[in-house]
Structure 1
């Protein structure tokens, strides 16, 4: 039944209409909605390279933290792997940092070896 019973006799409450009275503040708030601030903490920069394991073979170039960071950024912004690499490169340029960013193939290969719970954590951890 698409219509309510006695609809034509009901009291109609109109939707409240709001009028903006502080345009400069409203305009500033609208501009700030698009503002994004991302940075790497000093602890993250210090842990970017993996610790030496002493095992035979070529050591890993990036720590699990670096790969997880790339995967979180990829998940938050819905980026393909190549764009994730480019985005992280632009972040390090803006920060004037000298850390090297994992390339897209390293991110892809290392994401397989990470525990599944790392990739499926809630987004509040990233967005906080």
Structure 2
């Protein structure tokens, strides 16, 4: 039994085709300046956490998303924060490594009447 010949497509809208290929490589990472990057004082004895769980979660997400080593992930996060125009410090790799063991992942949701931005990634990252 023979296989049917694969379909042949002829591109007639090169401008749209090129734009679609460029959009596949687009990367947007939004950092909310209202995000609580530093941990609030908890009132317990002993040294307090410097960075909030949200900041640790963000750094670990970048590390896993791009399959980076610890120091590479820190460098990328520093670059993203600088590009966003924020003056936040970034946790070092030992802080990230230690805190990931006890981190409870939270995905916060805010109610909005203006709509919802939803990103669906189909590139396999």
Q: TM-score, normalised to structure 2's length?
A: 0.77
How far apart in 1 are the matches of 2:32 and 2:81?
12
- Which deviations, in whole Å up to 9, do the C-alpha atoms of 1:22-72 show, x marking residues without a partner? 11111111111111000112442xx11111111222211101111111111
Query: For residue 58 of structure 1, what is the aligned residue in structure 2?
Result: 47
Two-structure CA RMSD over aligned residues (Å)? 1.9
Q: After the TM superposition, which parts of structure 1 deviate over 4 Å for at least 4 consecutive aligned residues? A: none
Query: For residue 81 of structure 2, what is the aligned residue in structure 1?
Result: 92
Counting only pairs closer than 5 Å after superposition, residues 32-71 of structure 1 correspond to structure 2 as 32-44=23-35, 47-71=36-60
How far apart in 2 are the matches of 1:13 and 1:81?
49
Q: Is the 8 A contact 2:33 2:86 kept in 1?
A: no
Aligned length: 108
- Structure 2: where are the runs of 5+ without partners? 107-118, 121-125
Higher helix share: 1
* Correspondence 1:75 to 2:64: yes
How far apart in 2 are the matches of 1:94 and 1:50?
23
Q: Is the 8 A contact 2:78 2:90 kept in 1?
A: yes
Query: For residue 111 of structure 1, what is the aligned residue in structure 2?
Result: 100
Of stretches 93-102 and 51-60 in structure 1, the one that deviates more from structure 2 is 51-60
